[in-house]
Homo-oligomer: A and B are copies of this chain.
Amino acid sequence: MFKQQNSIDFSLPNWIYEFAKDKSFIKDVEDRMSFVIEASRRNVVENTGGPFAAAIFEIESGKLISLGVNLVTTQGSSILHAEMVAIAIAQKKLGSYDLGGKGIEKHELVASTEPCAMCFGAIPWSGVQQIITAAKDSDARSIGFDEGPKVKDWREALSDRKINVISDIQRDKACQVLNEYSQAGGKIYNSRERS
């Protein structure tokens, strides 16, 4: 008999609760990114996943809604990129699959690295109205991560959907974390070999 699992359950690392608990509001955009990059570093140090983090904030107030980190290797799921985790938790918290719904504050996704093909595709569905990134996708590629087949003009594709894109906020700091991960021999998971 086939047993279809009737739930999907993933755990976030224990450190994340303490890490975020004093950060109800972060006013300044640079500080929001520092917080996210620090979470990506912590994820490496704690050995709880890849060197990526992302958070959802209210754009205007800087209210923190969710913090996600990459959990691919530790939770055994290829869909658990930091952005997907942050989006899933934020939507659960707000009780809506649309973070851009009428009558609610506008939300942004702050991510330590530009999105891969999957996370890029997830952004329009999430309802966020702004994304802010630090490291470039080329920086992730340079340590061996594959960003997947994204449309070349992905920033324009988001802008066309009224999603504002802000790039290169503290890129160097995010790259440092990527490089530290790589130098420490962190797992570079990928899709199949291409040839």
Contacts and interface: CB of A to CB of B under 8 A. Distances in A.
Copies of this chain in the oligomer: 2
B77 A92 contact: yes
A183 interface: no
A120 B117 contact: yes
A103 interface: no
Interface of A: 1-12, 14, 16-17, 19-24, 64, 66-67, 72-73, 75-80, 84-85, 87-89, 91-93, 95-98, 100, 116-122, 124-127, 129, 146, 148-151, 154, 157, 160-163, 189, 191-194
A2 B24 contact: yes
Contacts of A92: 5, 8, 76-77
